[in-house]
Every structure is written in C-alpha cells, then in structure tokens.
Amino acid sequence: MYSLYKNNRGNPLFSVYDQLLPVVNLNQNFDSLLVPKNHVSRQKSDNYYINQNYLLRAHTTAHQTELIQMGLDNFLVVGDVFRRDSIDSSHYPVFHQVDAVRLCSKHDVFGKNITSEHSLFEEREITEDHQSCHSDAAVNFLTQDLKSCLISLATSVFGKDVEWRWVSASFPFTHPSWELEIKLCDKWTEILGCGIIKQDILKNSGVREKVGWAFGLGLERWAMKLYNIPDIRVFWSTDPRFHEQFDFEDPSTPVTFQSYSKQPPCINDISFWLPEEGKYCSEDFYDLVRSIGDDLVEKVELIDDFLHPKKKTRSHCYRITYRSWQKALLQEEANVVHQKIAEAAQNSFGVQLRC
Ligand code: PHE
C-alpha cells in the first residue's frame, strides 16, 4: 500500500490505525454502516455483546465512519475482531482484520484538465453496476483503482503468477461489492471483500464532494494460505517453535510452516569440565546426543560456557529438550536417555561431569 500510493512529496498516502479499542457501540459496528436493523450479522448468536449498546467489534470496518469524520481520506485499520462461530481449524472467536478506505475528489478522478462537464455525481436508477448517485466516470475510476490495488496486493503476497478472479458480492456498506478469490491447490478461495462505499455513509459523515472505495480482509486467513499453516489456533501459541519460524526481517522471505509435536517436553541439563583445549568441540557432543537420543531429542542448547579463573579449565552446560511425537514423555524415560548420554560423553571425550 505504501509503495502504490504516495503523495507528491513521496510520502505514504495511507496512515495506519492499529490501536483503536475493540469495544465499539452498535452505531459504529452496524448503524453507521447502514446494516439493516434485522440483518443476520446483528444476531446475539454471532456477536459478543457487552450490553444493549456495546459489543466487541465484529469487523474493523466498525471504525470506518469515525475516521472518515475525522477528515481522513486514505487509511488502514488493523485490529482484532470477535465473532461467535463454529469451531474448526479455520475459525476462532478472535482473529485479525485489515480494512482500508480511500476517498477521491474530482481532481483525483479527472486529473488536471478538469472542466465543468466532469462530475462524480449523476441522479439515476440504481443498477447492479452503480449506486443511484454516481456517474459512470466515478464508478469506473474507483472500480479500476480498487481492483488494481487489490490485485497488486494479492500478487505481491501470493506471487505474481497466482490465479485470481472477481466474484460479485453484497455488503450493506458498499455497492457494487466484490470478493477476490485466488486459486490455491486447485481450489478457489475467497481472500477479501470490497466495494464502492455507499454515498450515504460519506454524506452522514459530513463528506460532500468525494467518492470512495473500501476493502477488508482477514489476516490469519492470508497467513494460513501463505505459510501453509493448517490450524488457526497456532497463532495463539506462545511456543517459540512457532514464532522462531517467522523470525526474519524481510517479509517476502518464503516460509513453509513446519509442524511440531504437541506433546509436552522434558528438559534436562548436563554440565561437564572439558578436556584440554582442542580435544573437544560442541559439535562432537551434538552428534553424540543425536546418535543416542535419536528423535526424542528436539533441541540442544549451550546455556553456559565457564572458564575457571584460576585453574583455567573450561566447563560447558547444555540444556537438552526431550520430546516425543507419539506420547507425553515421562521424566523417568527422559532420565534414562540423559544418563546414557552422560556416560557416553565421559567415555568418548574424557569430559568430567559436574554435579
Ligand atoms: N467488513 C467486511 C467483512 O468483515 C469486509 C469488507 C470491508 C467488505 C470493507 C467491504 C468493504 O467481511
């Protein structure tokens, strides 16, 4: 979004709002977005109502009108959203969305050579393709700008060769509306919703001479597709084996998620005095641990490297994480393997165990 939309000084046009409180009122989540009073999305069974007036936002679109009222023309809203839903590998009561809004004036649409002939507005019958107040020029410009922005977003994330298609959709706050689908593993999957903002929303927010588009997408869904993550619950894991897989600076780094055991670990430390310089290296120990512990060993870390100040002897302490793929390992079972490793290290490298 930053590289696509810049102002004439080269600064990003879109500003990001990601600290807005998730508790919103009915006006923010529904009424201001023209969601009808009897719309299914308002149901108690689908939302986390706090009382008659407040709920946990069900979409980041809930902040659209307040930000437009503040005078913003180009913005992104990022946040957690809350929905009561079925339980399966792709649904969780809280997930994250990004919404975007872009408002355009006559000058954005018609450029420099604008004349009095050019208008964003025209009174006519509403059709599938346009609202009752928008001119063809306004609709065509917004549609083209919105769609090219989203294709560029989707291809920059999923690769330039990804197959995509537009499917017509319906949202109370946009008309016309679309969903973007991409083909993954031979299956068409919906990845976002978007459309031309209903002019009444802008009018009610005090905007007169502008038209605009909006989109919203679910971040977990994108991440699950992009990294091949099979279960939405792992996003809530505090397990470093999850987070370490995404520990890189460049967001375009290709990653395929590697699943890991959900069984609990047993963690044992071993520390020993090393033989004289040059007769031992940590890699020798790692090989030995692997050959004895086999698949039960998940990780070996050197957690202490100590040089005795007087004797000038060195000791190493390693932390070994034992974990089975099949079952919850008992501490006694881990101890047996750990004991074997200790004995083998003494015999093979002449190290001296510290108590
Ligand atoms: N709020 C919609 C959703 O949660 C997405 C959306 C946002 C659609 C903005 C159109 C415009 O599905």
Most ligand 1 atoms within 8 A of CB, residue of 32, 142, 173 to mutate = 173
d(CA 220, ligand 1 centre) in Å? 15
For the chain, domains (ranges, CATH) are 15-246 (3.30.930.10), 266-353 (3.30.70.380)
The encoded tokens of residue 157 equal 């994330």
Most ligand 1 atoms within 8 A of CB, residue of 30, 46, 59 to mutate = 59
Average pLDDT of the segment spanning 175-196: 96
**Whether pLDDT at 355 is above 90:** no
Q: What is the pLDDT of residues 41-70, one digit of tens each?
A: 999 999 999 999 999 999 999 999 999 999
Most ligand 1 atoms within 8 A of CB, residue of 60, 143, 171 to mutate = 171
**Whether pLDDT at 86 is above 80:** no
- Rounded percentage of the chain residues whose pLDDT exceeds 70: 100
**Whether pLDDT at 181 is above 80:** yes
Of the pLDDT bands very low, low, confident and very high (cuts 50, 70, 90), residue 126 is: very high
- Which pLDDT score, from 0 to 100, does residue 278 have? 81
- Which pLDDT score, from 0 to 100, does residue 249 have? 95
Q: Count of residues for the chain?
A: 355
The residue ranking higher by pLDDT, 85 or 250, is 250
Would you tell me how many other CB atoms lie within 10 Å of the CB of residue 141? 18
- Which pLDDT score, from 0 to 100, does residue 320 have? 96
Q: Whose CA is nearest to atom 9 of ligand 1?
A: 215
d(CA 25, ligand 1 centre) in Å? 18
**Whether pLDDT at 223 is above 80:** yes
- Which pLDDT score, from 0 to 100, does residue 261 have? 87
Q: Whose CA is nearest to atom 7 of ligand 1?
A: 216
Asked whether the beta carbons of 150 and 215 are under 8 A apart, the reply is yes
- Which pLDDT score, from 0 to 100, does residue 119 have? 97
First-to-final CA distance of the chain? 58
d(CA 180, ligand 1 centre) in Å? 12
Of the pLDDT bands very low, low, confident and very high (cuts 50, 70, 90), residue 252 is: confident
Cα 181 to Cα 147, 155, 169, 178: the distances in Å are 12, 12, 11, 10
Nearest to 61 by CA among 16, 115, 99: 99
Residues 6+ apart with CB under 8 A from 332: none
- Which pLDDT score, from 0 to 100, does residue 325 have? 86
Give per-residue burial for 95-110: e unless 16+ CB within 10 Å, then b: bbbbbbbbbbebebbb
Q: What is the pLDDT of residues 154-174, one digit of tens each?
A: 999 999 999 999 999 999 999
Most ligand 1 atoms within 8 A of CB, residue of 99, 168, 174, 220 to mutate = 99
Spell out where the chain has E strands. 15-17, 23-25, 54-56, 74-82, 94-105, 164-171, 174-184, 187-197, 210-218, 266-273, 297-307, 314-322, 352-353
The encoded tokens of residue 287 equal 């090989």
d(CA 172, ligand 1 centre) in Å? 9
d(CA 62, ligand 1 centre) in Å? 10
Average pLDDT of the segment spanning 15-33: 98
For residues 205 and 113, what is the distance between their CA atoms, to the nearest angstrom?
A: 29
- Which pLDDT score, from 0 to 100, does residue 88 have? 80
Q: Whose CA is nearest to atom 6 of ligand 1?
A: 216
d(CA 37, ligand 1 centre) in Å? 18
Q: What is the pLDDT of residues 259-288, one digit of tens each?
A: 888 899 999 999 999 998 888 989 989 989
Give the atom of ligand 1 at the shortest distance from the alpha carbon of 216: 7
- Which pLDDT score, from 0 to 100, does residue 276 have? 87
Q: Whose CA is nearest to atom 4 of ligand 1?
A: 59
Mean pLDDT of the chain, nearest integer: 95
DSSP letter, residue 121: B
Instruction: Please name every residue paired with 184 in a beta bridge, in sequence order, or none if there are none.
Output: 187
For residues 192 and 179, what is the distance between their CA atoms, to the nearest angstrom?
A: 6
Residue type, position 110, single letter: F
**Whether pLDDT at 87 is above 80:** no
The residue ranking higher by pLDDT, 180 or 290, is 180
DSSP 74-88: EEEEEEEEE-----B
For residues 169 and 134, what is the distance between their CA atoms, to the nearest angstrom?
A: 19
- Which pLDDT score, from 0 to 100, does residue 251 have? 87
- Rounded percentage of the chain residues whose pLDDT exceeds 90: 89
d(CA 215, ligand 1 centre) in Å? 6
For residues 347 and 236, what is the distance between their CA atoms, to the nearest angstrom?
A: 44
Give the atom of ligand 1 at the shortest distance from the alpha carbon of 177: 10
Contact residues of ligand 1, CB 6 A cut-off: 59, 61, 99, 171, 174, 193-195, 214-216
Least confident piece of the model among 65-74, 84-93, 98-107:
84-93
d(CA 273, ligand 1 centre) in Å? 62
d(CA 153, ligand 1 centre) in Å? 16
